[in-house]
Amino acid sequence: MGYPHKSHPKETVVLSQYFGDAEARTYDGWVKRGGYQALQKVLGMTPVEVTDVVKASGLRGRGGAGFPTGLKWSFMPKEKSKPHYLCCNADESEPGTFKDREIMRWTPHALIEGCAIAQLAIQAEVCFIYIRGEFTDPWAVMEKAVEEAYAKGTLGANAMGSGKRIDMHLHRGAGAYICGEETALMNSIEGKRGNPRIKPPFPAAQGLFALPTTINNVETLAAVPHIINRGADWYKALCLSNPKSVGTKLFSVCGHVQKPGNYEITLGYPLKDLIYDMCGGVLKGRTLKACIPGGSSVPFLNREESEGCLLDYEGCVAAGSMLGSAGCIVFDDSADMVYQTMRLAKFYAHESCAQCTQCREGTAWTVRILQKILDGDGTSKDLDLLLDLADQMTGKTICVLSDSCAAPVVSGIKKFRGEFEAYLKGARRAQVAVA
Amino acid sequence: MSAHDTAPHTPVFTGVVRAKLDVVLARYPTKRAGLLPALWMVQEARGWISDDAMAEVAQVLELTPAYVKGVATFYTMYHLHPVGKHFVQVCTTTPCNICGAEGVAEAFLKHTGCGDLGATSPDGKWTVIEVECLGACGFPTPVLVNDDFLENVTAEKVPEIVKKYSA
Ligand SMILES: Cc1cc2nc3c(=O)[nH]c(=O)nc-3n(C[C@H](O)[C@H](O)[C@H](O)COP(=O)(O)O)c2cc1C
Ligand code: SF4
Ligand code: FES
Rounded alpha-carbon distances, angstroms, from residue B126 to A175, A215, B47, B152, B163: 20, 39, 13, 21, 12
Helix runs in A254-336, H state only: 271-273, 303-307, 313-319
How many angstroms does the Cα of residue A340 sit away from the middle of ligand 3? Answer: 13
Residue nearest to atom 6 of ligand 2 (CA): A356
Task: Indicate the pTM of the whole model.
Answer: 0.97
Per-residue pLDDT of chain A (435 residues; tens, 9 = 90+): 556 788 899 999 999 999 999 999 999 999 999 999 999 999 999 999 999 999 999 999 999 999 999 999 999 999 999 999 999 999 999 999 999 999 999 999 999 999 999 999 999 999 999 999 999 999 999 999 999 999 999 999 999 999 999 999 999 999 999 999 999 999 999 999 999 999 999 999 999 999 999 999 999 999 999 999 999 999 999 999 999 999 999 999 999 999 999 999 999 999 999 999 999 999 999 999 999 999 999 999 999 999 999 999 999 999 999 999 999 999 999 999 999 999 999 999 999 999 999 999 999 999 999 999 999 999 989 999 999 999 999 999 999 999 999 999 999 999 999 999 999 998 777 655 443
Query: How many C-beta neighbours within 10 Å does residue A251 have?
Result: 28
Alpha-carbon torsion (B35, B39, B40, B41), positive or negative? positive
Work out the minimum CA distance from B122 to partner chain A, whole angstroms: 26
Q: What is the count of residue pairs from A and B with beta carbons less than 8 Å apart? A: 156
A224 touches A53 (CB < 8 A):
no
Judging by beta carbons within 10 Å of its beta carbon (0-12, 13-18, 19+), is residue A59 exposed, middle or buried? buried
Rounded distance between C-alpha atoms, residue B101 and residue B89, angstroms: 11
Rounded distance between C-alpha atoms, residue A208 and residue A185, angstroms: 9
* ipTM value: 0.96
CATH 1.10.540.10 fits B15-74, yes or no: no
Q: Confirm or reject: Cβ of A355 under 6 Å from ligand 2.
A: yes
pLDDT value for B2: 44
How many angstroms does the Cα of residue B143 sit away from the middle of ligand 3? Answer: 10
∠ at Cα A148 (B19, B30), nearest 5°?
40
CA A278 to chain centre: 21
Query: Per the omega criterion (within 30 degrees of 0), is the bond before A212 cis?
Result: no
Query: Per the omega criterion (within 30 degrees of 0), is the bond before A4 cis?
Result: yes
* Superfamily (CATH) of domain B86-166: Glutaredoxin (3.40.30.10)
Rounded distance between C-alpha atoms, residue A358 and residue A349, angstroms: 11
Per-residue pLDDT of chain B (167 residues; tens, 9 = 90+): 444 556 789 999 999 999 999 999 999 999 999 999 999 999 999 999 999 999 999 999 999 999 999 999 999 999 999 999 999 999 999 999 999 999 999 999 999 999 999 999 999 999 999 999 999 999 999 999 999 999 999 999 999 999 999 98
Domain positions in chain B: 15-74, 86-166
In DSSP terms, B90 is beta-bridged to: B130, B143
Work out the minimum CA distance from B163 to partner chain A, whole angstroms: 22
Rounded distance between C-alpha atoms, residue B39 and residue B85, angstroms: 19
